[in-house]
Chains A and B, each alone.
Chain A
Amino acid sequence: MNKTLWERIWETRTGYLMVVPTLAFLLVFQYYPAVSGLYRSMFDWNAGLAGNFIGLSNFVELFTDDDVFIRSLKNMALLTIWYLVAFVGLSTGVAVLIHRIRNEGSKYFFRLFMILPVIIPAVVLILLWKFIYDSTIGPLNAILIGVGLQDWTHAWLAEPKIAIYAVMFRNFPWIDGVSVLILLAGLQAIPVEIVESGLLDGASGWRRLRYIELPLITGQIKLLIVLTIMWGVQEYSAVWAMTQGGPIDSTQVPGMWMYFNAFRISRMGYASAIGVVMFLITLVATILNMRYIRSQEY
């Protein structure tokens, strides 16, 4: 029974061999870049050059001397709050609507339909909306003119005051299929007895939602909040494809600003510092969320 540690390691050597490929990939392509990103954020570093260690100067510059970065943080906050409303709020509404439909056929149809935004490549939707917003030939302005609202037409993605809202309100009606499916799975997992006994106690409609269903899908909602915040902080492919951060940096988000610094003006150390700030924001948001939103058990 009393084997030494070495004997146990030798006996289970297959176990190590099986995780070696995984660890090799993770060390090279995940751990090394992550550590290197943290380290390089303290350098004045251009591609190809060794770079000078400058301590926390990059971070000081970000928060005291970089108006574009501050604006990008504000845009990020605005977009993330909006994504929370759309991906968590609206999706909960849609999931509850689908869940309460009695006709199995139409219920199945709507559930299947929610897959649509997932199987259409994200870039196709982004590019279609870029076209919809086009100032001269886009259908949005055409519709506005058609109903007699000429004054409301805009160069949606080219006017600094409006562009960020155009990016934000793309993909109308903003339904996120994955969120709806996750919430539906949660709703369907609620035991029938609980809902029925609630109904006997007079909990129907809003009260059924407020006191029975919502508390029992807090787990799913919590998961969606974490995922949405992580995504909202990181996401910049929509901005990249629609405006590249312009006009005059009005749609800049941290990811886009990091991209610009790293690959357009070759300030790699400074860009790494932006990456570190984004990492810290997601970390704090996730920890807070895990701590303060508790799920209910039945």
Chain B
Amino acid sequence: MATRSESIAGGPAQRQRRGLHRGDAWRTVALGILCALMIAPLIMAIIISFKSPSQFTRVPFLPTWPMRWENYEFAVQIISQFLLNSIITSGATVIGVLLLSSLAAYSFAQIRFPGRTFVFYAVLALMMVPASLTLVPSFVLVRDLRLINTHWSLILPWIAGGQLIGILILRAFFESLPGEMFDACRIDGATDWQIYWHVALPLTRSMLGVVAVLNILGTWNNLIWPTLTLPERKMWPLTPGLYSYMEQYYTSYGRVMAGLLLGSIPLVILFVFTSRLFVEGLTSGAIKT
């Protein structure tokens, strides 16, 4: 495309095109300063995480030697239980969300059942219902269902809420697949269950990844709900766990910072393995609106 407009516009356009990107230097400097400021609190945390209390009192914000790795050993023991809880709850939620939302999305996109539009809008309308409206009644519901102090008190409501965005994304994807392909399968005698499992799901693997990443980010960062439904702290996932860890050991600054940094690692690992899905997921839906 670029070559075409060049050939039409000729020489002057060439000069103008260079003008398209003038001033790289100051932009890089400005963005570099911003990035440095963004990362500054983390650098601070890394430096402090290697300090004993006395080292912190003497030189709080600059590196000191010897480095106190035992802060990390201490933090690991406490954080690992929270991390395990997070993996259980976020993991079970993401499996449920992928299963339910892909089934519903397939049905909405490929099966013309009477009342389909109405049901779809009934699902879509819930996107407008904020968590604040449902917080108190959800708590009472979970209590009445006797789910308090079980991980189900997180998993079940999270599946219900998390599948909405999944249905939206996957329905759009299933609709974009060629309908002839599905018709051909039906003519060959495949049931919709078989088409869903053997044709639609394998084709949609990367979209499922996008939904999974979005869902994990959402549940992983939930701070307040688990503190309501789980009276025992040893049941808490990582996010509220880190909060209680900091409350408990506030004055051992080295240990606190080591814990916060360790607690940040799982999402970084997730990102390293799924960086493309990550960016796609975060910006999905933004182009079309």
Contact = CB atoms under 8 A, between A and B. Distances in A.
Partners in one complex: yes
Interface of A: 5, 8-9, 12-16, 18-19, 21-23, 25-26, 28-34, 36-38, 40, 47, 94, 97-98, 100-103, 106, 110, 112-113, 115-125, 127-132, 137, 139, 142, 172-173, 175, 177-178, 181-182, 184-186, 189, 191-193, 195-197, 199-200, 204, 219-220, 222-223, 230, 233-234, 236-237, 240-241, 254-255, 258-259, 262-263, 268, 271-272, 274-276, 278-279, 282-283, 286, 295
A116 B256 CA distance: 21
16 contacts: A5-B114, A8-B114, A18-B107, A26-B160, A30-B134, A34-B133, A36-B141, A40-B136, A101-B27, A103-B28, A119-B264, A119-B268, A121-B264, A123-B243, A220-B286, A258-B132
B286 A185 contact: yes
B128 A283 contact: yes
B128 A122 contact: no
A261 B163 CA distance: 30
B156 A25 contact: yes
B206 interface: no
A33 B134 contact: yes
A175 B220 CA distance: 21
A139 B61 contact: yes
A287 to B, nearest CB: 10
B111 A18 contact: yes
Contact of A276 (B9, B133, B263): B133
Given A123-B239, A142-B60, A240-B223, A279 B103 contact: no
A200 B20 CA distance: 11
A175 B40 CA distance: 13
B111 A240 contact: no
Contacts of A220: 286-287, 289
Contacts of A254: 132
B21 A101 contact: yes
B38 A196 contact: no
